[in-house]
A = this chain, B = another copy of it.
């Protein structure tokens, strides 16, 4: 079942304790799309400039990603540069050039509108809303947001969230959005805003799923080496929605099975963990579906008691 992914396609400059890359393919929609493509057919909506390299389009296309909604406009592609702390739990942004992304106004190709699944990457809430409104036959819609929208676009964000089935945010964002420090209470408040499913991402510590009055706590996969955490949260989102799309879940015909949501969280963690194993999207150049399944089984083996 196909999945529409909206967000940034960008170039990133990244420095971690393992090295420095001046310019490489990045952006939320890129990471979400690549991760989700291991589970379901993906259609991307994003904008790039005339500097966007054919080999980067080719990589996305090689993963079966539909690029009809990838708008090419005159100007430069969104560029972000950041540097990670020695333990890679923090990073500073050194440069953000929105470039063509500043005028991003997502328009869905006709062939995208009937897709049943939608993942809205972290962009301005009003744009997320406009995409949601262009898709009349959605089964499941949700996405991500960030501190900037929570703080400065609160009303717009709250209006947007009202129509989402799920929200994926990190723990500090959940606290900021709800005004509650305790995650159980924070989750209860956030779910009153609309989404019936909330996934709180906790970086290397995993994630917590809240749904249907229950919660599910998933620890993070313990990596031998973290080369570059850029995009890991987006890959989590891609694995999560990709698995649900593959399962064909449909809240309109009955409640989504908790077991499906739990497994979606684990697949999210699996995809996030692969993302960290190399710089940028490099791990996805060689990753196979069999490796994904193997890591899922390893996750099970490492957490069972």
Contacts from A to B (Cβ < 8 Å): 86-87, 181-185, 202, 205-206, 208, 214-226, 259, 262-263, 265-266, 300-305
Contacts and interface: CB of A to CB of B under 8 A. Distances in A.
Contact of A222 (B183, B266, B301, B302): B183
B217 A87 contact: no
Contact of A216 (B205, B215, B259, B302): B302
Given A205-B202, A205-B205, A303 B216 contact: yes
B305 A218 contact: yes
A87 B216 contact: no
A217 B219 contact: yes
Contacts of A302: 214-217
B224 A185 contact: yes
Contact of A266 (B214, B300, B305): B305
Given A185-B224, A205-B219, A206-B219, 14 more contacts: A182-B224, A182-B225, A182-B226, A184-B223, A202-B205, A215-B222, A216-B305, A217-B220, A217-B302, A219-B219, A262-B304, A262-B305, A263-B305, A265-B305
A184 B224 contact: yes
Given A205-B205, A263-B305, A303-B303, A219 B218 contact: yes
19 contacts: A184-B223, A205-B205, A205-B206, A205-B219, A206-B219, A215-B222, A216-B302, A216-B303, A216-B305, A217-B220, A217-B221, A217-B222, A217-B302, A218-B303, A259-B305, A265-B305, A266-B305, A300-B305, A303-B303
Contacts of A205: 202, 205-206, 219
A185 B218 CA distance: 22
A262 to B, nearest CB: 4
Nearest to A220: B217
A264 B202 CA distance: 25
Contacts of A219: 205-206, 217-219
A189 B262 CA distance: 34
Contacts of A216: 302-303, 305
B217 A303 contact: yes
Contacts of A259: 305
Contacts of A304: 262
A222 B184 contact: yes
Contacts of A301: 214
A217 B224 CA distance: 14
A275 to B, nearest CB: 17
Contacts of A183: 222
Nearest to A300: B305
Q: Which 5 A-B pairs have the closest CB atoms?
A: A262-B305, A217-B219, A205-B205, A219-B219, A184-B224
